[in-house]
């Protein structure tokens, strides 16, 4: 018999408000477990408990074991029913659950007094601890609806369960953890796993047998193997050659041989034309251009984390305005990082297309505004681009006069230059040579 999953047949039926249980016999201990002292009320708190924290599934297995082992005289199938309702609502990692007496009564069909009694049984078994003590004191602000404090329980496994199954623990109390098993516990675990595996295999074999029986069930009919009397057909002539079915002749020329006229006369659906990609200048995009764009995208995607959920081809299509403009992977990466995204778009390719469209629209609007204002960039920069020697000489003369004035002011203040070179004199001599 598996200790991890005791058979349900040893539990009497749960009592419900509609009627009493089918049997009233008490649950007899089925394991040789030493008598465990019930947990006192002061030790049912998370601070003083000797039980360890557990997850819902392991906790429910331990509760079934505790009930079947008969460690509490008041434990029974209703205890397991209440525990199953609590485990369905528990936090999966920490095993915390809000009590909710009214909800448990509604879901289980038990009375409020019965639910309270079996929750007390779970606490005395060491399977539940108080995390937060509930109170009916009104905590709502003035003018708000009445609000009380909810009771929160924590799922725990008592030491009796770990001792019987040979669990080795590290730590103590609520923070204790299973760190290994004893040799006896290993044997019990192997036996339990073997029993569960055999039960699953037996269940599968039963299901296959039932399915095979349902498929093979047919109405049995006796086979008639009586002799055939052919005496009356002895004087008859054999069948003559010819057609026996009055079927019209097949007109092969019209193409109607076993083919409906509607299907024979309809035209075949034309195949859709292959999709052709075009460049911005109107030329057809070649496979080499697509491969080059994908090669750039392969370098960009690992460097921009919010683009990694998108495929290479959608990103290549979205970044075509940049790759066609001659941008390399570093420039595109810097551009994407400059957007300073603190969130991950669900569709990165669509987001990139939208941002590039916004930038293009902004640039177009700026160009239209400059054209309306009469701004000519070529005319504005012509003075700096056209070769004008006299402009350079004028600038150098102004620099020479300024440096001479600066040197005279420094000399008046007694601040001489650190070097003997006179920049103003050198520049004036250069200008005289150029003028000559």
The answer on 161 and 68 residing in a single domain is yes
Specify if 301 maps to a domain.
Answer: yes
pLDDT value at position 265?
A: 55
Would 200 be classed as within a structural domain? no
Q: Is the pLDDT of residue 5 over 90?
A: no
Q: Residue 286: its pLDDT value, please?
A: 87
User: Does residue 72 sit in the same domain as residue 169?
Assistant: yes
How far apart CA 169 and CA 301 sit, in angstroms, is 48
Does 345 map to a domain? Answer: yes
What confidence tens digit (pLDDT) does each residue in 185-232 have?
A: 888 888 888 998 999 999 999 998 888 777 766 544 565 566 655 555
Question: How confident is the model over 378-388, as a mean pLDDT?
Answer: 60
pLDDT value for 59: 94
Output Rg (C-alpha) for the chain, integer angstroms: 46
**CA distance linking residue 144 with residue 59, whole number of Å:** 38
C-alpha dihedral sign at 360, 363, 369, 374 = negative
430 and 364, same structural domain?
no
**177 shares its domain with 111:** yes
Q: Lowest-pLDDT range, 27-31, 46-50, 397-401, 429-433?
A: 27-31
pLDDT at 3 over 60: no
Angle 312-317-320 (CA atoms, 0-180°, nearest 5)? 115
Of 30-44, 253-267, 325-339, 358-372, the least confident: 253-267
Indicate the number of domains in the chain.
3
Stronger pLDDT, 74 or 9, i.e. the higher one: 74
Average pLDDT over every residue of 397-401? 79
pLDDT score recorded for residue 330? 92
Residue 48 placed within a domain = yes
What was the pLDDT predicted at 114?
94
Q: What is the pLDDT of residue 202?
A: 93
Q: What is the pLDDT of residue 416?
A: 62
Residues ≥6 apart with Cβ < 8 Å to 235: none
Of 324, 347, 373, the one marking the end of a domain is: 373
Of 345, 373, 401, the residue that ends a domain is 373
Asked if residue 291 and residue 364 are part of one domain, the reply reads: yes
pLDDT value, residue 296 = 93
Q: What is the mean pLDDT of residues 265-275?
A: 64
What count of other Cβ atoms lies within 10 Å of the Cβ of residue 31? 13
Residues 324 and 410 in one domain: no
Residue 266 has pLDDT above 60, yes or no: no
CATH code for the domain in which residue 75 is found: 1.10.10.10
Higher pLDDT, 292 or 3: 292
* Residue 313 lies in domain: 287-373
Residue 161 backbone phi and psi in degrees, to 5: -65, -45
Q: Is the residue at 346 inside a domain?
A: yes
Nearest Cα neighbor of 318 from 353, 358, 354 is 353
Is the pLDDT confidence value at 116 over 90? yes
Average pLDDT for residues 126-139, to the nearest whole number?
84
- Whether residue 52 is contained in a domain is answered as yes
Same domain membership, residue 395 and residue 317: no
Residue 123 lies in a domain: yes
CA angle (8, 14, 17) in 5-degree steps: 165
Residue 394 lies in a domain: yes
| Residues 19, 109 contacting (CB under 8 angstroms) | no
Shared domain for 67 and 150, answered yes or no, is yes
Q: Which two tokens stand for residue 262?
A: 């509607």
Tokens of 186: 């290993």
Residue predicted with more confidence, 323 or 16: 323
Using the predicted structure, report yes or no on whether residue 233 has a pLDDT greater than 80.
no
Residue 25's pLDDT band (boundaries 50, 70, 90)? very low
As a whole number, the mean pLDDT across the chain is 78
**295 and 410 share one domain:** no
Instruction: Give the pLDDT of residue 2.
Output: 41
At residue 62 the predicted structure's pLDDT band, cuts being 50, 70 and 90, is very high
**Residues 401, 369: one domain?**
no
Distance CA 256, CA 264 (A): 7
- Percent of the chain exceeding pLDDT 90 equals 34
% the chain with pLDDT above 70 = 68
pLDDT at 295: 93
Are residues 176 and 46 both part of a single domain?
yes
Which pLDDT does position 78 carry in this prediction?
A: 93
* Domain end marker among 163, 181, 199: 181
413 and 346 co-located in one domain: no
């Amino acid at each position: 018999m598996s200790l991890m999953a005791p058979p349900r047949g040893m539990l009497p039926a749960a009592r419900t408000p509609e009627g009493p249980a089918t049997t009233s016999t008490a649950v007899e201990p089925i394991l040789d477990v030493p008598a465990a002292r019930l947990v006192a009320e002061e030790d049912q708190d998370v601070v003083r408990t000797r039980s360890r924290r557990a997850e819902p599934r392991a906790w429910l297995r331990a509760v079934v074991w505790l009930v079947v082992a008969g460690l509490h005289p008041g434990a029974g199938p209703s205890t397991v029913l209440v525990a199953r309702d609590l485990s369905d609502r528990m936090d999966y990692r920490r095993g915390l659950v809000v009590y909710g007496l009214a909800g448990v009564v509604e879901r289980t069909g038990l009375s409020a007094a019965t639910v309270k009694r079996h929750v007390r049984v779970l606490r005395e078994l060491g399977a539940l601890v108080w995390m937060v003590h509930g109170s009916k004191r009104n905590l709502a602000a003035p003018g708000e609806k009445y609000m009380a404090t909810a009771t929160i329980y924590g799922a725990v496994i008592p030491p009796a369960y770990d001792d019987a199954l040979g669990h080795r623990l590290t730590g103590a109390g609520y923070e204790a953890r299973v760190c290994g098993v004893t040799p006896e516990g290993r044997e019990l675990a192997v036996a339990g796993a073997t029993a569960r595996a055999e039960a699953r295999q037996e269940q599968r074999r039963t299901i296959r047998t039932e399915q095979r029986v349902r498929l093979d069930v047919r109405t049995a009919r006796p086979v008639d193997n009586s002799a055939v009397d052919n005496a009356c057909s002895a004087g008859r002539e054999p069948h003559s050659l010819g057609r026996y079915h009055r079927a019209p002749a097949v007109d092969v020329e019209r193409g109607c041989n076993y083919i409906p006229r509607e299907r024979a006369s309809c035209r075949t659906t034309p195949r859709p034309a292959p999709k052709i990609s075009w460049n911005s200048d109107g030329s057809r995009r070649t496979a080499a251009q697509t491969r080059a764009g994908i090669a750039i995208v392969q370098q960009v995607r690992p460097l921009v984390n919010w683009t990694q959920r998108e495929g290479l081809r959608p990103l290549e299509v979205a970044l075509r305005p940049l790759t066609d403009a001659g941008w390399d992977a570093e420039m595109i990466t810097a551009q994407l990082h400059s957007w300073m995204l603190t969130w991950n778009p669900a569709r990165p390719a669509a987001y990139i297309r939208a941002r590039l469209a916004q930038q293009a629209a902004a640039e177009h609007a700026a160009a239209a505004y400059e054209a309306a204002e009469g701004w000519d960039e070529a005319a504005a920069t012509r003075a700096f681009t056209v070769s004008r020697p006299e402009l350079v000489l004028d600038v150098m003369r102004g620099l020479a006069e300024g440096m001479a004035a600066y040197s005279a002011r420094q000399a008046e203040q007694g601040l001489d230059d650190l070097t003997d070179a006179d920049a103003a004199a050198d520049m004036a001599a250069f200008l005289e040579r150029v003028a000559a």
